[in-house]
Amino acid sequence: MRLPVRLTVLLVVCATKAQAVVSGSEQRVALSGVEVTKAFTGFSISYAPSGWADAGIHEEYHKGGIWRGFYYSRGPVPFAGKWRVSKGQLCVSPDTSAIVSRWFVGERCRTVWRDKTTGRLLVKHLNPRLEDDTYSVQVRDLRR
């Protein structure tokens, strides 16, 4: 039985895309709750979608669950709130007056991954509307 050329091409393209998704997920591993706590307590992260001049984020994770940061829009816009680790995910709750409280209601939890090749941490964007991609973050020790 011969398959039509279009169907054969479609099957090959779908199989290739499926393999790319599997390969991409194999390149990273989710951190455990203990690893997330260790990686974030006393550190800041920064990331920005490529091609966006006004969607950069800087988040600081202080001891005692204090969360502060800046959203880079038309100049740095500060925000603050609380953070915690729950079920292995990094969770943040912005103060009601913070600009980021307009992006989501209540708490936002994100999985944190480590790239197996580079060792860099990866997270989704704080803004749920920009969470289609996973971003490699720059990590800085707040004690320095």
Q: What are 4-18's pLDDT values in tens digits?
A: 544 333 333 333 333
* pLDDT beyond 90 at 54: no
Domains of the chain: 29-141 (2.40.128.280)
Q: Return the DSSP state at 137.
A: -
Write the pLDDT tens digit of every residue in 16-47: 333 233 345 579 999 999 999 999 999 999 98
Q: What is the pLDDT of residues 110-140, one digit of tens each?
A: 999 999 999 999 999 898 888 788 889 999 9
pLDDT digits (tens, 9 = 90+) for 65-80: 999 999 887 778 899 9
Closest by CA position to 93, among listed 66, 57, 58: 66
Predicted structure pTM score: 0.77
CA-closest candidate to residue 69, choices 100, 48, 102? 100
CA quadruple 41, 46, 48, 53: dihedral, nearest 10: 140
Supply φ then ψ for residue 129, to 5 degrees.
Answer: -70, -15
